[in-house]
A and B are shown apart, each in its own frame.
Chain A
Amino acid sequence: MSNDVFILAEYLNGKLADITHEMAGKARQLAAAFGGKAVVVLLGSGAKGLAESIGADSVLYVDDPALAEFNPEAYGRVLAALIKERSPRVVMMGNTSVGMDLGAGLSVTTGLPLIAYVNGLAADGGTLVATSQIYGGKIQAEAAPDGEACIVSCLAGAFPADAGRAGAGSAPVEQIASPVPLGDLKVKFVKLIQPEGGDVDITQQPILVSIGRGIGGQENIELAQELADALGCAVSASRPVTDAGWLPKTRQVGKSGLTVKPKVYFAFGISGAPEHLEGMRGAEMIIAVNTDAKAPIFDVAHYGATCDMLDLLPVLTEKVKG
């Protein structure tokens, strides 16, 4: 086993995801503690240039046409081969749409443990200690692998990105061909589907009236829309509302939706699952209304109330109208 820390680089539409930098910064710290190197693993086709902005000790770039777009099967095979060949101490990936397709499967194929939903990582003596955020953000679990090596999947925003950006010089890049054949894939990438335009752009609104499960039903959306109209802003939502089809997907705030930073963010009937908080915690002022006084949304909100949002909305609309 080496003492290297591998980081899987993640990118979309030719742009590195922040989590790549976040993990690289943390990997440098861990690698220094273990006496190894922080190695960014970048998979792609003609994507070598992406390595330039990442701050790490080195970059291992695997170039193959089958890696031109993310493909869970191709990525899984290449990573399994690299892990077996180079036996890193730690393999870091995002607990993201990409990493969630890979980590658990790699844990089975390589026999390395996986610790998921990680938002804290430290080298305690010679041991890796990973802290997972589980049970909807209500519990933190601090764990250590039973052996020395481990895969961890990290939550977006858990570590500062700046520590993982390249400084004066770029890291040396080792370019290799795929260590395994990728000609017979059972998963084929077809196309990317960009979000539909034409609807309101919720990332550009000064105020957002955001609603969650607490809205109860489609018939109540109108109450939120009336408030938004009075304020001259738009209605956005957490995942359950868009999943139910009560609002279009373009209005979804959070991990699989959009990241918003309005001046005022109203969270009506939103409990504040980590996936939602990821998309709105940068708002200048957050006002949360939820009948559950213990809802995690109140931990990030500036102001809160526990009255029934369905009672509050019409009253508030009238007062805003003056």
Chain B
Amino acid sequence: MNIVVAIKQIPDLTDELEINGEGTNLDHDALQYVLNEFDEHAIEEAVLTKESAGGTVTVIGVDTTGELDGALHTALAKGADKAAKITGDFPRGTDSHTQAKLLADAIKGMSPDLVMTGVQAADDRDGQIAPMIAAHLGMPYVGVVTGVTVKDGKAVVHKEYAGGVMAEFEVSLPAVIGVQAAHQPPRYAPVSKIRQIAKTAKVDEIAGGDAVGSGSTVRRMFKPESAGHAEMWEGSPEEVAEKIVALIAERGLLKK
């Protein structure tokens, strides 16, 4: 089973996001980048699939930060076998359409049985990468998947709908799967192991082609104005607890 996982780095959302002077993009250079959390799940599900069905896992991404190696080394430490990065003039925040085309071109040559990616990323303004890769490769796609089981040239996947309802699909391989969550929480790789791998690991470099662009242009980026804000309680846990109890008692919801 030849499994390829496509990954993407995005701004760390716990940071304060600043908008650039033109008001049309983030001030990307001021931001820390982290691996898209759904991609963490895609890596985990790929490694779990390899562990049960055999095969190899190759992790690949477009290096938009100059720091993709760190994410690739971490994936190797978690059980991926090979790593590759697509290089070229692709700045931070490169649109999904471009990243998907670059990834599909590179993945095509790898003849995968299964391509997994995170189902979405917080910066997918022009759409999710996974279905675009599938369309470029001419492969079937199912996304919002929480479990993949491979057998007899097929993947049985569980797709989530609202309200806890799920649908089971059987997908002929090769196929692309958009992972919402792995069967189990992404495993932890010790820093010492990642450092060790960073010393010896080989990351294949693939020169990317041209950017295709998103087909739309951002006119204005801004922070949403919230309609309201909570009345904030200062003070110790003791004081906060008293205020909460008073509120609940007022509403007659305290058990007697």
Contacts and interface: CB of A to CB of B under 8 A. Distances in A.
Contact of A142 (B11, B167, B219): B219
A135 B171 contact: no
B229 A298 contact: yes
Contact of B135 (A12, A108, A142, A303): A108
B222 A263 contact: no
A299 B160 contact: no
Given A115-B125, A133-B224, A101 B131 contact: yes
A193 B128 CA distance: 25
A264 interface: yes
Contact of A257 (B19, B123, B164, B232): B164
A273 B79 CA distance: 30
Contact of B131 (A102, A188, A243, A315): A102
A114 interface: yes
Given A140-B223, A141-B125, A263-B253, A113 B215 contact: yes
A139 B223 contact: yes
B216 A113 contact: yes
B62 to A, nearest CB: 16
A134 interface: yes
B247 A287 contact: yes
Given A100-B144, A316-B241, A316-B245, A256 B219 contact: no
Interface residues of B, number: 90
A99 B15 CA distance: 30
Nearest to B246: A319
Interface string A242-264: 01110001101001111100011
Interface in A288-306: 288-289, 292-294, 296, 298-306
Interface of B: 11, 13-14, 16-17, 19, 26, 96-97, 100, 119-120, 122-132, 134-136, 140-144, 156, 158-172, 175, 178, 180-181, 184-185, 213-224, 226-238, 240-245, 247-248, 251, 253-255
9 contacts: A97-B143, A101-B141, A101-B144, A135-B13, A142-B220, A150-B215, A207-B248, A259-B163, A300-B226
Given A101-B141, A192-B168, 10 more contacts: A105-B141, A129-B219, A139-B19, A143-B217, A185-B140, A207-B253, A232-B255, A264-B253, A285-B251, A307-B237
